[in-house]
RNA sequence: GGCGCGGUAGCUCAGGUGGUUAGAGCGUUGGAUUCAUAACCCAAAGGUCGGGGGUUCAACUCCCCCCCGCGCUACCA
């Protein structure tokens, strides 16, 4: 294997259109962080790069929906994600963002560099244009009637009903999903990156060169792509949000997100090390590792490397350990259905319990196939492994040492095998020592191979072996007859605890800190490094060293804690089995004049809070376009205040004000009532401006 | 539709150029124990290795077909 001087580790740039959930963490950030911690423990030169991916149509549309500018939109999510990462303890050297100046510059330089080499293709074609919004529409933002099956809402790339693939021009009566209007065809010019020219090179580099060292899922996906034959990919878009194309006649053109986003790794490194960044990207003695989810394989293994190759001078990823996906309680994680465990919410609900989440996510890490996170599993793993095996072992050793030696590490002189009992102890010691070294070796080996599940298992194995060593040698019994033997046993037990403190750093950083405190070992750094160099047990805590006070490392997860979390996932009212009421009869006929008396409008919820002493009412502040008013709405059992904020709602604006529970309600929110009594909001399919009338 | 990855004990996963009783941890059950967060330690039960067919003296491991999950992709292998 090639020797490298340093390592550049990147973790996929999260898209700045929503908060982070455990799927993101398990997929890329946690394995990356674990790996980087491991490298740092070994004293290696490593940079750990990440940042928010802030461009693309989805951002502009998301911003429009929230009624804010794209910049405000990404500012919000960038801040949210950055804070969550920091709070969770993911140790990026830099968490940057693609909307900043350094990145724009870097991405433009990349484009210009490759452009000047004459590699890009340039082509003009007709594309649908939304005249009202003044934007060209991506395929999936166009709907229309499917030419094959007649389905009225087929997307521009595929009909969901009959499954045929389409191009937008095949759609009958195309409509823009952004404005609802009929788009028109307009010629537009774009630049293309000729991936096909890199096919042979990619074949050699990946299919031949990385057959054995890349994960099979990654390799298979790449090979499949390359075998299919590669096509030029367009790398520009008509949009006013993004990195503008650095050509004189290219106003209104930006780089396509997938072109600029991976370059974000480089810009972030530049920002981190304005003078020294190049050696992390251009020195062949640097190893580049991308941690990503499986949806990103083709960008990181094929397209981005080809771009780097085209740019010249750059190193290529040495490995791309992509993970599969994480499910939640048997279902796909879904932002829109709120079927997710949000990182910032976990951190708020479980303060001081970051290791627990790390531990569980690593133990089910989707390394070879999709995995499933369940709260029950979380509880069981924490309680039976972290608490019972790891935490308990440390606690037993600490307590025993305080009990018999006042917290001073007993001397480590070798025990003379003078009695039968002592001979047995020596046997147990030898066995434990052998098993421990094997586990340490296997742990480090697995870390090198990105097999974090296995590595962490071996870590816990150290505690398992430690527990067995104590059970086998029974120092609490010997205390009555042979204190020298007790001292020898505990000295070794403390050695195990010390090595655990060292070894758990990449996986359980908070435990590492707590253990250092308990062992009173903050000054042992230089010595402890030896563990990672020798790859075997070291004499971590010297004899006669005074230990700190024992403290429990972890506490059990109680039933009610996870029940709360599980309840959070369910839609309100979903588990209630109410009798299905009959459809309500039609009301008597009215005239159009009756109807026109109603002033129905679209408003936007600015704030929402529960009403005191009411289990049905939410107090909402609603922007009706012309004013902001307070409306009390009896929907508290169907929507949480958090869910309501930012939502568009349909309301009756000219209803006479009415006092409820001491507060005046100035209007009424319209709701659909399902046959089971469940209330659902009426929301315009596409966002409209507050104050829009309904008729 | 095509391609890729996966489908092994209740759960999370190992494994195998085909070869005696398919492994581990957790969970469960029983026992032992008390230093410890009713924890630890020992033991047992649990699987016709997604289904069907084939090759073979012998397949969970190789070949073919099918089913299921996830991803990628589009009339192209």
Q: Which residue is nearest to nucleotide B32 (CA to C1')?
A: A471
Q: What is the DSSP string of A164-180?
A: -B--GGG-EEEEETTTS
Closest nucleotide to A294: CA versus each C1': B71
Cβ neighbours of residue A455 under 8 Å, at least 6 residues apart? A34, A443, A444, A446, A447, A506, A507
Calpha distance A537→A520 (Å, rounded): 19
CA torsion through residues A254, A307, A115, A278, sign = positive
Closest nucleotide to A384: CA versus each C1': B26
What angle separates helix A257-272 from helix A304-311, to the nearest 10 degrees?
60
What angle separates helix A392-405 from helix A483-503, to the nearest 10 degrees?
140
Calpha distance A436→A467 (Å, rounded): 12
pLDDT tens-digit readout, A466-515 = 999 999 999 999 998 899 999 999 999 999 999 999 999 999 999 999 99
Contact A480, A421 (CB under 8 A): no
Closest nucleotide to A453: CA versus each C1': B13
Residue A295 CA distance to nucleotide B70 C1' (Å): 11
Residue A216 CA distance to nucleotide B17 C1' (Å): 20
Distance of CA A372 to the CA centre of its chain: 15
Q: Which residue is nearest to nucleotide B4 (CA to C1')?
A: A221
pLDDT value, residue A148: 66
- Mean pLDDT for A18-25 is 92
Q: Which tokens sit at A291?
A: 């941690």
Contact A93, A48 (CB under 8 A): yes
Confidence of residue A585 (pLDDT cuts 50, 70, 90): very low
Residue A657 CA distance to nucleotide B34 C1' (Å): 71
CA–CA distances in Å: residue A276 to residues A211, A273, A302: 33, 5, 27
| Other CB atoms within 10 Å distance of the CB of residue A646 | 15
pLDDT value, residue A581: 27
pLDDT value, residue A580: 26
Closest nucleotide to A163: CA versus each C1': B1
pLDDT value, residue A612: 57
- Decide if pLDDT at A577 tops 50: no
Q: Which tokens sit at A62?
A: 């998301």
Cβ neighbours of residue A94 under 8 Å, at least 6 residues apart? A47, A49, A50, A51, A268, A269, A271, A272
Calpha distance A569→A334 (Å, rounded): 11
- Decide if pLDDT at A2 tops 80: no
Closest nucleotide to A215: CA versus each C1': B5
| Other CB atoms within 10 Å distance of the CB of residue A549 | 10
Q: Which tokens sit at A20?
A: 């982070």
Q: Which of A413, A325, A396 is nearest to A361 (CA)?
A: A325
* Average pLDDT for chain A: 86
Calpha distance A138→A238 (Å, rounded): 10
Residue A15 CA distance to nucleotide B40 C1' (Å): 46
pTM, entire model: 0.81
Give the three-state DSSP class for A440: helix
User: Strand B positions with any atom < 7 Å from protein CB?
Assistant: 1-7, 11-14, 25-27, 34-37, 39-42, 69-77
Contact A619, A639 (CB under 8 A): no
Residue A254 CA distance to nucleotide B21 C1' (Å): 66
Residue A371 CA distance to nucleotide B45 C1' (Å): 28
pLDDT tens-digit readout, A159-186 = 666 556 667 777 778 888 777 788 888 8
- Decide if pLDDT at A398 tops 90: yes
- Mean pLDDT for A607-618 is 65
Q: Rounded to the nearest 5°, which phi and psi values hold at A600?
A: -100, 130
CA–CA distances in Å: residue A341 to residues A355, A572, A631: 16, 16, 31
Element (H, E) at A428: helix A420-448
pLDDT tens-digit readout, A29-66 = 999 999 999 999 999 999 999 999 999 888 988 898 89
């Amino acid at each position: 294997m090639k020797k490298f001087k340093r390592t550049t580790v990147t973790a996929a740039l999260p898209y700045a259109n929503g908060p982070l959930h455990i799927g993101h963490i398990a997929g890329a950030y946690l394995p990356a962080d674990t790996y980087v911690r491991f490298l740092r423990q070994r004293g290696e030169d490593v940079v750990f790069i990440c940042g928010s991916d802030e461009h693309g149509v989805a951002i502009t549309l998301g911003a429009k929906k929230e009624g804010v500018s794209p910049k405000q939109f990404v500012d919000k999510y960038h801040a949210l994600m950055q804070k969550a990462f920091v709070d969770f303890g993911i140790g990026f050297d830099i968490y940057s963002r693609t909307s900043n100046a350094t990145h724009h510059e870097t991405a433009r330089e990349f484009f210009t560099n490759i452009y000047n080499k004459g590699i890009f293709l340039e082509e003009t074609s007709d594309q649908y244009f939304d005249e009202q919004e003044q934007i060209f529409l991506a395929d999936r933002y166009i709907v229309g009637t499917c030419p094959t099956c007649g389905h009225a809402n087929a997307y521009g790339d595929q009909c969901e009903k009959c499954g045929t693939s389409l191009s937008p021009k095949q759609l009958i009566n195309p409509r823009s999903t952004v404005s609802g209007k009929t788009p028109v065809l307009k010629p537009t010019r774009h630049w293309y990156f000729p991936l096909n020219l890199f096919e042979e090179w990619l074949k050699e580099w990946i299919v031949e060169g990385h057959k054995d060292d890349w994960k099979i899922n990654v390799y298979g996906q790449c090979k499949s792509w390359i075998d299919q034959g590669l096509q030029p990919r367009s790398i520009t878009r008509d949009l006013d949000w993004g990195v503008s194309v650095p050509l004189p006649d290219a106003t209104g053109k930006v780089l396509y997100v997938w072109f600029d986003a991976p370059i974000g790794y480089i810009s972030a490194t530049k920002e981190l090390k304005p003078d020294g960044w190049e050696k992390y990207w251009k020195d062949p003695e640097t190893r580049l590792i991308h941690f990503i989810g499986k949806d990103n394989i083709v960008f990181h293994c094929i397209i981005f490397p080809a771009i780097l190759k085209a740019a010249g001078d750059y190193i290529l990823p040495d490995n791309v350990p992509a993970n599969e996906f994480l499910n939640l309680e048997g279902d796909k994680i879904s932002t829109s259905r709120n079927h997710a465990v949000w990182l910032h919410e976990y951190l708020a609900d479980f303060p001081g319990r970051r290791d627990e989440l790390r531990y569980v996510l690593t133990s089910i890490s989707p390394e070879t196939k999709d995995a499933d996170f369940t709260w029950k599993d979380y509880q069981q793993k924490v309680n039976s492994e972290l608490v019972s095996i790891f935490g308990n072992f440390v606690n037993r050793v600490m307590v025993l040492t305080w009990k018999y030696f006042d917290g001073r590490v007993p001397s480590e002189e070798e025990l003379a095998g003078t009695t039968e009992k002592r001979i047995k102890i020596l046997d147990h010691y030898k066995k434990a020592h052998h098993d421990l070294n094997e586990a340490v070796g296997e742990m480090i080996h697995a870390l090198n191979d990105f097999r974090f599940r296995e590595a962490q298992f071996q870590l816990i194995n150290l505690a398992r072996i430690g527990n067995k060593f104590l059970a086998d040698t029974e120092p609490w019994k010997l205390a009555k007859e042979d204190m020298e033997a007790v001292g020898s046993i505990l000295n070794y037990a403390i050695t195990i605890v010390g090595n655990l403190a060292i070894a758990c750093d990449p996986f359980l950083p908070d435990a590492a800190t707590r253990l250092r405190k308990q062992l009173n070992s903050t000054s042992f750094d230089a010595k402890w490094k030896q563990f990672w160099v020798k790859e075997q047990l070291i004499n971590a805590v010297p004899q006669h060293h005074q230990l700190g006070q024992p403290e429990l490392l972890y506490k059990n997860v109680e039933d009610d804690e996870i029940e709360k979390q599980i309840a959070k996932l369910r839609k309100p009212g979903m588990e209630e089995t109410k009798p299905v009421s009959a459809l309500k009869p039609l009301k008597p006929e009215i005239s159009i004049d009756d109807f026109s008396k109603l002033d129905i409008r679209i408003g936007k919820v600015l704030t929402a809070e529960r009403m005191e002493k009411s289990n049905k009412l939410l107090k909402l502040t609603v922007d009706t376009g012309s004013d902001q008013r307070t409306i009390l709405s009896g929907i508290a059992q169907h929507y949480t205040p958090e869910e309501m904020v930012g939502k568009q709602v349909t309301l009756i604006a000219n209803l006479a004000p009415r006092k409820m529970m001491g507060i005046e309600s100035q209007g009424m929110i319209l709701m659909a009532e399902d046959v089971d009594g469940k209330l659902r909001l009426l929301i315009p399919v596409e966002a409209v401006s507050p104050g829009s009338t309904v008729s």
